[in-house]
Structure 1
């Protein structure tokens, strides 16, 4: 390798690049398998631009051009323009509200000629840059409530706009940024409260609300009994116990039923009940049932590439996008699925390693944002295909078909690689 080549690739993290390319290649194979039907001419399929597989190759080419441009850009550019990126992302989301195109129940797309783009994907990148910029600012003291509220507002603003676009799935991914804020000092008790809220919602849906009321009352009585001596010295503890009991009781008795009746849409409620096994309508449970059948039918070693019957006979819907993992599970079985998921886990661990070796707060926060976004997409998508999460239309990073998704994840990763390559330059 000559000196110019050495300089061009200096500082690149080869393990991340290798895993990135491996996942994209697996995506090509899976999308091709999802579209292949017995009797098809393989060569014609490979060359056909009417197939998602071929279009994904085109989007990968565009992603590589963007990645190359990012790699040739000075890393200071991203710190200097982070807020501009955020403003541009918000502007795109607002434009979508005005002139967005509806696709499969979501009004989150912009269409220009034959090109269709989903700004909600791109704005994840913009939010990651802006959050990193804010948390790395000299005047930001993240131990103070004001700074935390500003950071939360930066995340919740695009999330709220995306919900207005009926794109709840991608909106939920923005909650990944709370993991980043936790790493930077957000109190862990907030994560405990959030998890407890999820448990309360699930309990309200699975258990009779009056039984829950009896349970809460019994637990509160026990807590009062075991703290009776402290309560005698300080009545404030009793007030806290009563307040928690009142909140939990009213939450399951009134708030959850109100939200499920008046806030959530019917299809969203059905998807949640499908996840909980409380939905008996065959149409509502069809996607999840077929997905689980496809993955389970792969057995230990799989049926073999292009030999999945659930795939070939179109039993699983959206198999190139939301349910792409079904193709991998059916064709390559349990062993292949474990190897596939091991690549993702290795990528996440490597990104966390990269985050921790950064010298600047900006680079560290951004790298953790990348890891958190990938983790949320991966966890929700896989749980969705095996019935542990509602079907909310979240793609598998770098693997599912979709130009907006592939380009956004490529840009996320290559900006991180650029920042990491320049980590010897102290940006703060």
Structure 2
């Protein structure tokens, strides 16, 4: 058998070419793998899990694109986007109807959302709010007519993002993408198009806010680095919190924040946000709007002129109808412990729940999201939750190289 001789001199002289071809083959293989593995996220301006350059050489947060850039997931024909305050009641009611039908996928859970609730979330912002609809055209063979059918909707409203990394503070206005809703039978491609097209049109209309934040409940997305990793636990209110009226230690006062004293809350937030690595809070006028409309409940503990604790509760407009999980849901969205006593902090938390239940005797379940100082309260309860849900926040068009953060490092009020 003939064995060809290997000319080592030729190989050595062309070694750089062989190395180049090997590296090129590896790069092409990785490129094809990423394109096939992450067909949606790989073309979006997000912090990808394979962004080794950004994770290695960058330290401070930055905005990726300074202007809106379309891609193949922009569907300008099927998706219409409008400024919320320019919408007629017809569009707003259609938005609410879609949320009631499809926002929560479980058959045993009701989303008790109404037009006034939508107005509360979308109103009183410092920048325009937006909503989008995904529509398809259906042809009828019976009468040869074409009708429009709305399959999904999405919204965005302005807020403020502050990231403290070492001694550097990154602060920017940002849009919170919320109420992402699609018909149960629609393919995932429709939801992807809805998200991308909405953000693209939103950026075109308001180029002063180029970043967005959105939340996913359940398992994490593949191919994109989480911004904040958190979880939520649901407890039975009658079991843990229906007790005798609690009294705080002497000289401590339990307060309810409202229009008359809201500046005390805002001043406290401005002074204490440095306690967290990440702060993302809706515009202050919107906080007051949600308080006035009983969507957001804010309480605190005060001694003289000093605030020692603040609690943010939200009516999620959600009702469970299962044997092991039944009743309307109240959420502890965030809290700030400014005291050295966990017992004092916990008593204020219990007092807050009792006050809310007395005011609105509909809540049977409490969801505690692991945000802010909530972990201290969760540990104090000590019981086994009825349900635990993983939740993750992601950024669009903003890269934070030191991501992910954990809920206990963050304060999120949206």
Report the TM-score when normalising by structure 1.
Answer: 0.24
Q: Who wins on radius of gyration, i.e. which is larger?
A: 2
By percentage of residues, which structure has more helix? 1
Structure with greater contact order relative to length (CA < 8 Å, sep ≥ 6): 1
By percentage of residues, which structure has more strand? 2
